[in-house]
Amino acid sequence: MNIKILVATHKQYWMPTDSVYMPIHVGRAGKSDIGYIGDHTGDNISEKNANYCELTGLYWAWKNLEADYIGLVHYRRYFTRKEVRSVEDKKNQILTGEEWETLLSQYPVVVADKRKYYIETNRSHYNNAHHSEGLDVAEQIIAERYPEYSAAFTTVCNRTWAHMFNMFVMRRDLYNQYCEWMFSILAELEMRVDISGYDAYESRIYGFVSEILLDVWLEANRIEYKEQNVSFMEPQNWVKKGSAFLFRKIGWKNKNR
């Protein structure tokens, strides 16, 4: 079983040594070499990284990488066995190639554990955190081009949980199908939404929208998946996160994030 899990990064950082993990320098076009494979070779959209985020790595893998299973994690976020406190302990909890083989022999897709919002839906959370037109226009595109996905889009937007971070590992045939569908929607979204007035954070619109699209695709196609714990490899400021959430709920957005 040939498994390749991209570790999206834009700088040098600690990386797992297991051979299933493949560090990839996303947004490599025009940047200095940092010692990792770049997403700027072959068929690529590396120059769109500021707007597509880690998706430039997913696109590169779709067009250029040979593997039976392809996935994505981040240099600071990994699929792990369980949540532990220290960073060193978290490193030891990262799933190994052998564990991935066991998981993927049972499930065609592995995604991040649900992120639960409890008091708001995916749509209200998106609208509170971002410009609403990104999701609104994506909904229009789906209705026009993929109407069979419209019901799933509504279902996912009305949920109070989601599989976030664009983190997954997926069987190659499903990966191809997902990328074809997802990138076609985002390409159309690029043509319809004017982001020239967006700040640097909101300009990552395509990465934000795609987090919702993953669940829409899974829901519409009734894909069986396994949820897996995700660990953030650095300490998080929960006070700051909680404050940001409350500010969003009362309608204030920090444009300097």
pLDDT tens-place values along the chain, 257 residues long: 999 999 999 999 999 999 999 999 999 999 999 999 999 999 999 999 999 999 999 999 999 999 999 999 999 999 999 999 999 999 999 999 999 999 999 999 999 999 999 999 999 999 999 999 999 999 999 999 999 999 999 999 999 999 999 999 999 999 999 999 999 999 999 999 999 999 999 999 999 999 999 999 999 999 999 999 999 998 866 445 455 445 544 555 543 33
pLDDT confidence of residue 221: 98
Domain count, the chain: 1
105 lies in a domain? Answer: yes
Residue 257 lies in a domain: no
**What is the per-residue pLDDT for 247?**
52
- Residue 10 CB burial class (10 angstroms; 0-12, 13-18, ≥19): middle
Q: What is the pLDDT of residue 238?
A: 40
Asked if the structure places residue 183 within a domain, the reply is: yes
Spatial distance between the Cα atoms of 19 and 1, rounded to a whole number of angstroms? 12
Residue 255 forms part of a structural domain? no
Q: By the 8 A CB rule, do 117 and 245 touch? A: no
pTM score, two decimals?
Answer: 0.92
The pLDDT assigned to 235 comes to 82
- The total number of residues shown for the chain amounts to 257
Round to whole Å and give the CA distance between 194 and 134: 10
In a domain, 28, yes or no: yes
Q: Can you give the residue range of the structural domain that contains 22?
A: 3-250
In a domain, 225, yes or no: yes
- Structure tokens, 209: 């929208």
CATH number of 87's domain: 3.90.550
Per-residue DSSP letters for 36-97? SEETTSSS--GGGHHHHTTHHHHHHHHHH---SEEEEEETTEEEBSS--SSHHHHHHHBPPH
Classify residue 117: in a domain, yes or no. Answer: yes
